[in-house]
């Protein structure tokens, strides 16, 4: 089932995301006050995504996953400067709102 596929993939994702996050933290030095709202919003989005995935039929899941992976891969290849610098565009509540929306 799609939900089981996503759950199995999460173990590898956690390891990869942890290493990437630590590398980003060391190299870019982002504003850590942003991390908590962003993480909470990302967690809520993850729960919502898992809930939605439970309603996707298996026949439709594989093509959707393939298209999303190709789009994310293309975006990553076309934006090599992504994440090299940290420029705050907002401040105060707008900053936290943007971080939560991103999460």
Write out the two tokens for 36: 């908590």
Cα–Cα distances (Å) from 32 to 23, 78, 87, in that order, read 14, 27, 13
Polymer length of the chain: 103
pLDDT in the model for residue 86: 67
Predicted confidence (pLDDT) per residue in 35-87, tens digit: 778 888 888 888 888 888 888 888 888 888 889 899 999 998 998 887 777 67
| Residue 96 pLDDT | 78
Q: How confident is the model at residue 23 (pLDDT cuts 50, 70, 90)?
A: very high
Check residue 75 and give its pLDDT.
93
Rg of the chain over all Cα atoms, to the nearest angstrom: 16
Q: Enumerate the domain spans of the chain.
A: 1-30, 31-81+90-102
pLDDT value for 77: 93
Distance CA 61, CA 75 (A): 21
Distance between CA 100 and CA 5 in Å, rounded?
27
pLDDT tier, 14 (very low <50, low <70, confident <90, very high otherwise): confident
């Amino acid at each position: 089932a799609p939900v089981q596929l996503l759950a199995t993939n999460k173990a590898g994702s956690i390891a990869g995301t942890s290493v990437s996050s630590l590398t980003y933290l060391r190299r870019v030095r982002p504003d850590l006050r942003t991390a908590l709202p962003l993480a909470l919003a990302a967690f809520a989005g993850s729960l919502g995504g898992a809930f939605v995935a439970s309603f996707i039929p298996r026949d439709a899941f594989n093509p959707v996953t393939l298209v999303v992976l190709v789009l994310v891969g293309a975006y990553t290849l076309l934006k090599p400067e992504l994440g090299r610098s940290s420029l705050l565009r907002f401040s105060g509540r707008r900053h936290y709102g943007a971080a939560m929306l991103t999460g």
